[in-house]
Amino acid sequence: MATLEALWNQLIATQAAPPLWLIGVSGLVALVIVGYRPSWHVSRGLITIAHEGGHALAAVLTRRKLRGIRLHSDTSGVTLTKGSPTGPGMIITAAAGYVAPSLVGVGAAWLTAAGYVTLLLWGVLALLACMLLLIRNAFGVVSLLVVGGAVFAVSWFAPTDVQGVIAYGAAWFLMLGGVRPILELQGKRRRGRAPDSDADQLARLTRIPGSFWVMVFFVVAVAALGYGGYLLIRAEIALPLAFLP
């Protein structure tokens, strides 16, 4: 019991936020990673993990049978579910993918801004472990093990101030990285290269144009970026203002 209590106290321990300039730098680095094509090609797989995790969670919550997840080397992925091919459950499952990275980013921003960096890191490890049980291809297994190993190394070996900066950067990356795939999706749809995209599946399920669903994805992602960014810088802005006459 004492060990469990000590572990819980460690998980809920809070850390002081880094200086505002460092929070800004972490956001700028995330923006460069997302905006620069070579680095985006390497890092986009992290967004795919969150995307497919969103599909999987939505399937479980809507009581669809989850058959597995595949992650591919071209940064694409697929989540296989079993159940009614129509209806609310299928619609929610199809809609969850593109908004998942942004929503996960907001959650990460909230925990990070509140100082719960350790809880965030171990929460990510728990989610990756659950997702690992559902992976059905070798590349997906290797990808999750590499990401999980990196998160574990940060949580176990990195100094607390380094953990904090990485957590801020990860939150920025998820929120910024949640926007770009939506823009890419619309570009592919315009050229007729994504006939089976989530938006087009939703169009067939709801008889509402796919462009409407792309707009929904985009609005959610931009709103998440705005709110999450506010959470990340709110405390550091409010503190200096508190000393103004």
Task: Tell me which residue of 53, 144, 127, 47 sits closest to 93, measured CA to CA.
Answer: 53
Give per-residue pLDDT as tens, 187-231.
999 999 889 999 999 999 999 999 999 999 999 999 999 999 999
Can you list the positions of beta strands (E) in the chain? Answer: 65-71, 77-82
Residue 243 has a pLDDT of 42
User: Quick count: other Cβ atoms within 10 Å of Cβ 25?
Assistant: 15
Residue 10: inside a domain: no
3-state secondary structure of 203: helix
pTM of the model: 0.93
Separation of alpha carbons 95 and 201, rounded Å:
9
Q: Residue range 82-99: average pLDDT?
A: 96
Determine the structural domain holding residue 55 and report its residue range: 19-67+79-239
Residue 196: inside a domain: yes
Count of domains in the chain?
Answer: 1
**Who contacts 194 (Cβ-Cβ below 8 Å, separation ≥6)?**
185, 188, 200
Cα dihedral sign, 194-198-202-208: negative
Give per-residue pLDDT as tens, 42-52.
999 999 999 99
Residue 3: inside a domain: no
In this prediction, residue 245 has a pLDDT band, given cuts at 50, 70 and 90, of: very low
Residue 104 has a pLDDT of 98
3-state secondary structure of 28: helix
Residue 245: inside a domain: no
